[in-house]
Amino acid sequence: MAPDIIKKVDDAGVIAVLVIDEVKHAMPVAKALLAGGVSAIELTLRTPVAWEAANAIKDELPEITLGFGTVLTVEQVQNAAKVGADFAVAPGCNPKVIAAAQDYGLSFAPGIVTPSDIEMALEQGCRILKYFPAETSGGMKHLTNMVAPYNYLNLKFIPLGGLSINNAAEYLKSPLITAIGGSWIAKQDLIRGEQWAAITQNAHEISQLIKD
Ligand code: 3PG
């Protein structure tokens, strides 16, 4: 990842994972997150409107650090770079996708959950890694033990998968973590139900926890 993006993600401390079905929801959800103090978004490429939603957010809310999630193909990397995404992440560690991100100058964090994944990512030059799925893989206990042999490399991790306001503190206190992420802040049901105040409240809760 580029140093300016690392700083942006680190400063944000939390990334809201979004699955958006309708373009009309992009702006209100982004504004609801900002109102609660969350300025970094991972917009997943699991719905066809994700690209249009990203363009809307990028045009109107430049203060948002906007990344794409579920980036599985070289073509998606190319499109993400074209849209001007700040970063991209994937659930897994695909060397072709990592190489494409480097070619297109897109800051990319591949997903890892084993030492072999970490070493594959290292070989590709990645130093910021998505730890996914964090909770069911053993949470911070698993990550801390797995990373011990690589500590001298000063790797940083973004844990995702099963995080919530109830377990976020455990991740945030570790020096291995640059930022946490999760869908709980703006769940798909809340977006579909246009529950913007609830999203702002969730964003506010996690922002406060990060500040404390
Ligand atoms: C992701 O898309 O990065 C993860 O699915 C987020 O996991 P969560 O839904 O458990 O927060």
Dump pLDDT digits (tens) for 130-155.
999 999 999 999 999 999 999 999 99
Domain spanning 3-211: CATH 3.40.190.10: no
Say yes or no to pLDDT of 212 above 90: no
Ligand 1 center from residue 71 Cα (angstroms): 13
Q: List the chain domain ranges.
A: 3-211
Question: Which range, of 6-15, 115-124, 177-186, 199-208, averages the lowest pLDDT?
Answer: 6-15
User: Residues with catalytic annotation?
Assistant: 42, 130
What's the whole-number mean pLDDT along residues 50-75?
Answer: 96
Looking from the CA of residue 91, the nearest atom of ligand 1 is 3
212 or 202, greater pLDDT: 202
Global pTM reads 0.96
Q: Residue 26 burial by CB count (10 A; 0-12/13-18/19+): exposed, middle or buried?
A: buried
134 lines ligand 1 (CB under 6 A): no
pLDDT of residue 40: 97
User: Helices marked H in the chain — which ranges?
Assistant: 3-12, 26-35, 50-60, 74-83, 95-103, 115-123, 139-147, 168-172, 188-192, 196-211
Q: Which position has the higher pLDDT, 36 or 5?
A: 36
pLDDT of residue 8: 87
CA distance 200 to 32: 5
Atom nearest to 42 CA in ligand 1:
3
